[in-house]
Structure 1
Amino acid sequence: MANKIIPNLSMLKGLLGSNDDVARLVKRCPRALLADLEKTLMPNVQILKKCSIPMECILHLLYLRPRTFLVKSDTMMKSVEKAIEIGVPLTFIAFINAVDLFNYTSEGMWEVKLQTLRDLGFSDEASGDKLKKKIEFLLATGKFNISSVVACPVALACSIEKRLEPRMQILRLLESRNLIEKWPSLSGISSFTDYMFFDKFIRPYYDEIGEECIIKKFVTGKKRVEGVSKCLRSSI
């Protein structure tokens, strides 16, 4: 055991720079003392560096999610490739969360998720830019993390302009006026029909929101105005 601990402490100090930083990491992740760092941590750091993630960010990630770095380097490489494949932005928190998720998701389960996306109309060739834009949009709300986004392929098939953004504008408004305590799940936001969403999140708050505001935020296309307006009138 000592033959592994001493070299690992030396490698960690060389990477982190001080005994205090080594102690901080080991306290958070005792596994680091016994893992094969030459086959896990060190090559995994290099993999992330090749993705143009700055070293200071990599070290921050190491403290934040140390187990992510203790997988075999080929597993890390595959997870990085998957995160890039679906367009996860290289902002370090979102990216490392995606990598961590893929590190511990079986190939079979991930293939199921990919097939779901294909069934929803995303071709392997054309999906990259679309997925990246939608993932960035969903993460930017501050309401969903990468795990919830990847776990809900239906959301990635929705139009931002026609479905996601109008609904989220309504939810932001309700939240700002303390009319709801929490948002529905991403699955709920994505899969509700317009009228299901209307009945649950607009009709009960009609008096507080007002018809003009609802139409401005919720109705994004001329074809939908008449139908939604009828629902609004029936709420009076």
Structure 2
Amino acid sequence: MYHFLIARLTTKTPHYGVLCHNAILFFNSRTLSVSNTNHYKGGTFNVFSLINSCGLSPEKAQKLANRLKLKNPNGPNAVIDILRNYGFSETQLCSLVKQRPFVLLSKPGKTLLPKLKFFHSIGFSTTDLPRFLIGNITLFYFSLNKSIIPCYQIIKGLVCSDKEVVSTLKHYKWSCSSRRLINHSVRNVGALRQLGVPQRSVSLLVTNHPGATFMKHSRFVEALEKVKEMGFDPLKSNFVMALKLFATINEATWKSKLEVLGRWGFSRDICLLAFKKQPQFMMSSEKKIMKMLNFLVKDMSLPPEDIARCPEILGCNLEKTVIPRFAVVKNLKSRGLIKSDLKTSSFIKISEKMFLERYVTRFQRNEPLLLDAYRGQK
């Protein structure tokens, strides 16, 4: 009966795909005894109800169900139970199974649980761990002892604590080549330490920009030479931020961004002044830089020199931060409530809370509509 119905369903048109899918799961679940005490929305939540809710194609669902029949019947449900114990919600389980269905064939106690325990032991919370693993699905297939732990030990030697190791892991997209690339990081960080780069800057680069840290040593050295030639001080954090930029973009992109700035009156010296103060702004897209400069130079009449003294502004959000703050400051200046020569950095480089305290709240008695105007610009 089972084989007859499946054969009949699979010879129909594609409109029968969902019916075929459910029939496969129904008959497989009837032939495979599954014990699970967990419940999902009032009904039993086991491996088959999970597969059925993941949106797999009928072919993949059938293949997975057939493979599961050859395994220990309680194995797949044990996988689900372990994952749930480490913070996976039903939605996250569905996402995981949809990406890598055969994770359900893992050996729960031998391969899966030791990995989860390891990541938890170094500081991953049950909130962060599911997101991290779903975003780095290949880690389910890495050997804990041959790949994951050796990578951890290398990274731990570059930074100061497990907390920084976890931050590094979160900021890096893991693939089959990760172990090979991480090996380059030892030589890369060694080159930084030879220049006297302090550990706090090394940790900043490793934890926030591991892609630059783990790049091939030859490319890393090229980027390092550019930063040195531009006169960056190895003792300051901007050194590694500039290094990250040159490790990320090529020469053509760098020249193209200089040309964009040049169209708005930035000489090469002014560009380098801004870059040395805040290397990160050059990571902004050319479109964003153009849009920002159109407002600052054309609408606000700011000279390039003033912008270069506060290059952080080029990395801000134009609509949510820059335009509303300039509107408030312009209003206050026009009424003589603040100095007319107020520096841009004094109201751009501060937090939202501090801006409101300094330039909105303290003037609301005289300017009751100031807050409304500020919010209206956001």
TM-score bracket for this pair, using the shorter chain length = 0.5 to 0.7
Asked if 2 retains the 8 angstrom alpha-carbon contact of 1:83 and 1:98, the reply is: no
Structure 2 match to 1:100: 174
Give the deviation of 1:32 after TM superposition. 0.6
How many Å separate the matches in 1 of 2:141 and 2:124? 18
Q: What are the superposed Cα offsets for residues 134-155 of structure 1, whole Å, 9 maximum, x if unpaired?
A: 235xx4xxxxx63344215335
Q: Does 1:135 align with 2:206?
A: yes
CA RMSD of aligned residues (A): 4.3
Code of the residue aligned with 1:150 in structure 2: it is F
- Aligned pair in 2 of structure 1 residues 162, 209: CA closer, same or farther (>3 Å)? farther
Structure 1 match to 2:285: none
User: How high is the sequence identity, in percent, across the aligned residues?
Assistant: 10
- Aligned pair in 2 of structure 1 residues 208, 52: CA closer, same or farther (>3 Å)? same
Code of the residue aligned with 1:15 in structure 2: it is L
- Aligned pair in 2 of structure 1 residues 113, 185: CA closer, same or farther (>3 Å)? closer
Q: TM-score, normalised by structure 1?
A: 0.57
How many Å separate the matches in 2 of 1:163 and 1:5? 53
Q: Does 1:80 align with 2:152?
A: yes
Q: Does 1:186 align with 2:248?
A: yes
Task: State how 1:1-236 maps to structure 2 within 5 Å.
Answer: 2=69, 3-4=71-72, 6-16=74-84, 21-74=92-145, 75-87=147-159, 90=164, 94-96=168-170, 98=172, 100-101=174-175, 104-106=177-179, 110-118=182-190, 120-122=191-193, 128-136=199-207, 139=208, 146-151=210-215, 153-154=220-221, 155=223, 158=227, 159=234, 160-161=237-238, 164-165=241-242, 186=248, 188=250, 201-202=257-258, 205-211=261-267, 213-214=270-271, 216-218=273-275
Asked if 2 retains the 8 angstrom alpha-carbon contact of 1:131 and 1:156, the reply is: no
Q: Secondary structure at the match of 1:210?
A: coil
Asked if 2 retains the 8 angstrom alpha-carbon contact of 1:53 and 1:90, the reply is: no
Asked if 1 retains the 8 angstrom alpha-carbon contact of 2:97 and 2:104, the reply is: yes
Code of the residue aligned with 1:86 in structure 2: it is L
- Aligned pair in 2 of structure 1 residues 89, 69: CA closer, same or farther (>3 Å)? same
Asked if 2 retains the 8 angstrom alpha-carbon contact of 1:98 and 1:146, the reply is: yes
Code of the residue aligned with 1:77 in structure 2: it is I
How many Å separate the matches in 2 of 1:167 and 1:90? 18
Give the unaligned 5+ runs of structure 2: 1-67, 228-233, 278-378
Q: TM-score, normalised by structure 2?
A: 0.39
